[in-house]
Amino acid sequence: MQPYELGAWLGDTELTRDQREDFERSIDMIAARYPGRDHGQHPDEEMMGEAMSGAIRVLLGDDKLEGLAQEWSRARVAEREAMGRLTGAVIATADARVAETVIAERTGLNRRSLRLALGK
Number of domains in the chain: 2
Q: Let me know whether 53 and 96 are in one domain.
A: no
Q: What angle do CA 77, 96, 118 make, to 5 degrees?
A: 45
For residues 46 and 10, state if they share a domain: yes
Cα-Cα-Cα-Cα dihedral sign, residues 16, 18, 24, 27: negative
Reference 25, options 50, 59, 49; nearest CA is 59
Residue 85 lies in domain: 74-117
Contact 90, 118 (CB under 8 A): yes
| Statement to judge: residues 9 and 59 lie in one domain | yes
**Per-residue tens of pLDDT for the chain, all 120 residues:** 788 888 898 999 999 999 999 999 999 999 888 876 666 556 566 788 899 999 999 999 999 999 999 999 999 999 999 999 999 999 999 999 999 999 999 999 999 999 999 999
Which alpha helices (DSSP H) does the chain contain, by range? 3-10, 17-33, 45-59, 65-95, 100-107, 111-117
pTM for this entry: 0.73
Q: C-alpha angle 100/105/111, rounded to 5°?
A: 50
Query: Is residue 69 a part of any domain in this protein?
Result: no
Does 9 map to a domain? yes
Backbone angles phi, psi at 82, to 5 degrees: -65, -40
